[in-house]
Amino acid sequence: MVPSLLFEVMLIGLLGIGSQWVAWRYRMPAIVIMSITGLLAGPILGLMNPEEDFGDLYTPIISVAVAIILFEGSLNLSFKEIRGLGRPVFRISTIGAFLAWILGSVAAHYIAGLNWAAAFVIGGLFIVTGPTVILPLLRQSKLKPRPAKVLKWEGIIVDPIGALLAVFAFEIITFLTANNPDGSALLIFFAASVFAAILGWACGRGIGFMFETGYLPEYLKSPAVFIVVIACFTLADEVVHETGLLAVTAMGMTLANMGISSVEDMRHFKENISMLLISAIFIMLTASLQVDTLLQVFDPNIMGYVLLMMFVVRPLSIFLSTIGTDLSFNEKALLGWIAPRGIVALTVSSYFASILSSAGYADATLITTITFALVFTTVVAHGFSIGWLAKKLHLSKEGRPGTLIVGSNNFTVNLARSLQKARAPVIIVDSSWERLRKAREAGIPFYHGQMLSEQTEYQLDTIPYEYLIAATEFNSYNALVCTTFMPEYGRTNVFKVSPYRHDLNGMGDIVNKVGGRILFRQDLSLDELNQKTREHYVFRQTAITNQYTYKQYLNEKDENTVLLYIMKPSGRMRYYSEELRVTPEPGDTVVSLTPPVKEKEKIMKRLENQRSNNGNNGNGKK
């Protein structure tokens, strides 16, 4: 065991964020790595048991964390995003959820051997996929926009529904099996659900009003929202357990659809908090499991139930609920397979296991075991298969990392051509149809629109592009674009052309320090890059080998050559910047903007050969 509670908190944080880093570094599902890490630290090696060590604080910590994670996910649920997806999402979240509940409950009774009370409770819990598992998978799998949005909306909408459905099932079963049935409990439950939704809406509108009217200073906005989320969840949860999830979902959706700019400003803060909480909570939950629980997972009835849920219940509920929608067969197949369960299922199942045991249901102790079995199996199976299956079904944007270029001009069009030759996805975005003429004539994919507009966010598919280059003639706009998209693309993947100009009188230093890394060189402005293309500079590819080393290439290249980027055999690429260290290795290809010396030499040699041939022909005639 760990020496102190403080040390355990530190260890949970290290293991959680360390698992996220390993998953990012080796391109693996983060939830799988976190689950395995938690099991190793907890029941397998016995380093810690957070549930015992935290005592009475364990459940409140988990509950508050789930509330914040769910709020952060629902903060992304703008109704504008669901345009064209309303019918499939509605069907899956209602008819599909109901079918999954009934089929899952029947399977839990006849296959897993649970009594009807426990079966209907666990059936309600297992309709939940949840943002804690879906959103990280979507970030890694690079699905096409439509199936990705359906999975995201289903996960966030159904998350509170599953918990409420479990509560509803428990109340119904308690009512039906009571010696003197009293319908007041059911009425209280429904009234509490309505209260939770209204409370969430009121909290969202209240915070939105304070943002819009300036009643909150900028430095208090994120902390205020943080506290109001906890208050909203707690107040609803104190009335009826688990209605707090509905309240924070309603609050997040209300804020997301009010069109408040401040929500966008704090969204990245919420994402960072959510990432930290997901990492810590997964470690805590898996580390708190008992060895007996792990051994029970291998019971044939439990394993059979898990397989039935994955291969029969989920696909059947999806295909039946989406009849008559415009989803393709491939999209239905993907949606029918991807349904990993996560934090909400684990936390709520432990609550119901305790109250069902208190109510005298002997097999209630199996609920935690079955939940863990389904959570771990689906997280592993779906986490490792989503990318492969998406490719097979042609629903993936996976491929070489692409580049999104803001600004159409001579240089960016030629840069895009070179990227196309390297088989890397590229698109040019510009608000001017006239400036886009060069891109259209060159056959470069383009988007006509303002990069910073809300409309572009919903219409432009940015999934294939890992790099962003701001290369317009307006240096302040380039800096603003980089600052806006830096949290989404990452600090090392956002570039802008150098704002350097001789007539700025030092103002270039100010623009230089705002957002984005300088592309290529500090002393190389867009005007100079465009001038080089007008002087017929060539975009040249040079292979680095063991025989022709990078050092030799640097020694032999023309002094006016501009190093642009390197392309690795795997398809990964790195742009040159004075702020980043780029060192090509044997097998890499260096792409550079080179003076047309070789081309001129070839032209001169061709002309000399023509003159020589003409001279010989003339001599022959004589």
**CATH for 152:** 1.20.1530
Q: How many domains does the chain have?
A: 2
**Which residue from 608, 191, 591, 200 is spatially nearest to 423, judged by alpha carbons?**
591
> Does 323 map to a domain?
yes
Q: Are residues 531 and 599 in the same domain?
A: yes
Asked if pLDDT for residue 507 goes beyond 50, the answer is no
**Mean pLDDT over the full length of the chain:** 80
The whole-number average pLDDT for the span 544-569 is: 84
The per-residue pLDDT for 211 is 84
pLDDT of residue 506: 46
Please say whether the beta carbons of 427 and 446 come within 8 A.
Answer: yes
Judged against a pLDDT cut of 60, whether residue 501 lies above it is answered with no
Assigned domain for 1 exists: no
**Residue of 265 and 469 predicted with greater confidence:** 469
- In terms of domains, do 183 and 317 share one? yes
Average the pLDDT over each of 12-21, 62-71, 203-212, 409-418 and give the range with the smallest value: 62-71
Does residue 272 lie in a domain region? no
**In this structure, are 527 and 455 located in the same domain?**
yes
Q: How confident is the model at residue 262 (pLDDT cuts 50, 70, 90)?
A: low
Query: Is 288 contained in some domain?
Result: no
pLDDT at residue 600, as a whole number: 56
pLDDT at 1: 67
> Residue 503: is its pLDDT beyond 50?
no
Same domain for 223 and 338, yes or no, is: yes
For residue 533, the enclosing domain spans: 402-604
Distance CA 502, CA 521 (A): 15
Tokens of 459: 């219409």
The sheet with strand 465-470 has its strands ordered as 446-448, 426-430, 402-406, 465-470, 494-496, 517-518
Answer with the residue of higher pLDDT: 75 or 411.
411
| Mean pLDDT to the nearest integer, 192-208 | 91
Fill in the DSSP letter of residue 361: -
pLDDT of residue 356 exceeding 80? no
Predicted pLDDT of residue 103: 92
pLDDT at 549 over 80: yes
CATH of the domain at 590: 3.40.50.720
Identify which has the larger pLDDT, 321 or 516: 321
Q: How far apart are CA 449 and CA 297, in angstroms?
A: 54
Domain presence at residue 35: no
Q: Pick the last residue of a domain from 358, 392, 426.
A: 392
Quick one: 65 and 180 in the same domain? yes
State whether 385 and 407 are in the same domain: no
Residue 258 inside a domain? The answer is yes
- % of the chain residues with pLDDT over 90: 9
Q: Is residue 158 scored above 60 in pLDDT?
A: yes
Same domain, 316 and 460: no
pLDDT of 557: 82
Residue 424 sits in the same domain as residue 383: no
Q: Using alpha carbons, select from 90, 173, 166, 175 the residue that is nearest to residue 122.
A: 166
Quote the pTM value.
0.67
Residue 379: partners with Cβ closer than 8 Å, 6 or more residues away? 29, 31, 32, 35, 133, 340, 341, 342
Do 453 and 336 belong to one domain? no
Among the three residues 344, 362, 392, which one is the final residue of a domain in this structure? 392
The pLDDT tens digits of the residues spanning 31-69 come to 778 888 988 998 888 888 888 888 888 888 888 887 887
Contact 399, 423 (CB under 8 A): no
| Residue 545 identity (one-letter amino acid) | T
Is residue 212 included in any domain, yes or no? Answer: yes
Residue 320's pLDDT is what?
A: 92
Does residue 171 carry a pLDDT above 80?
A: no
Burial of 83 (0-12, 13-18, 19+ CB in 10 A): exposed
Closest CA to 400 of 142, 29, 23: 142
Dihedrals phi, psi of 41, to nearest 5 degrees: -75, -30
Structure tokens at 109: 């009774």
Query: DSSP assignment, residue 498?
Result: B
Write down the residue that tokens 């499939």 correspond to.
Answer: 88
* Phi, psi of 547, deg, nearest 5: -80, -40
More confident of the two residues 334 and 263 = 334
What pLDDT is attached to residue 363?
A: 73
Q: What is the pLDDT of residue 63?
A: 82
Distance CA 583, CA 566 (A): 9
Confidence at residue 232, expressed as pLDDT on a 0 to 100 scale? 92
DSSP 8-state secondary structure symbol assigned to residue 193: H
Task: Give pLDDT tens digits for 575-618.
Answer: 888 777 778 888 888 888 888 776 555 555 655 666 666 666 55
Asked if residue 542 and residue 450 are part of one domain, the reply reads yes
Dihedral, CA atoms, 384, 338, 22, 401, nearest 10 degrees?
A: 90
CA torsion through residues 93, 95, 97, 100, sign: negative
At residue 605, the pLDDT reads 60
**Residue of 355, 309, 367, 304 whose CA lies nearest to 336:** 309
Banded pLDDT at 195 (limits 50, 70, 90): very high
162 lies in a domain? yes
Most confident of 72-86, 143-157, 379-393: 379-393
Torsion of CA 344, 348, 353, 355, to 10 degrees: 180
Percentage of residues in the chain with pLDDT exceeding 70? Answer: 84
Do 109 and 168 lie in a common domain? yes
Q: How confident is the model at residue 217 (pLDDT cuts 50, 70, 90)?
A: confident
Q: What is the mean pLDDT of residues 475-482?
A: 84
Domain boundary among 357, 392, 427: 392
pLDDT at 234: 92
Higher pLDDT, 197 or 146: 197
- pLDDT recorded at residue 508: 47
How many CB atoms are closer than 10 A to CB 62?
Answer: 24
Would you say residue 81 has pLDDT above 70?
Answer: no
Rounded average pLDDT over 499-515: 52
What's the pLDDT at 622?
44
Asked which of 191-195, 455-459, 476-480 is least confident by mean pLDDT, the reply is 455-459
**What pLDDT, on a 0 to 100 scale, did the predictor assign at position 327?**
86
pLDDT score of 139 more than 90: no
Considering only 135-139, 155-159, 489-493, which range has the smallest mean pLDDT?
135-139
- Residue 542's DSSP bridge partners are 590
The verdict on 388 and 406 lying in the same domain is no
Six-digit token string for 288: 């708190």
Question: What is the average per-residue pLDDT within 186-214?
Answer: 87
On the question of pLDDT at 83 being above 70, the answer is no
CA distance 410 to 532: 9
CB atoms within 10 A of CB 21: 13
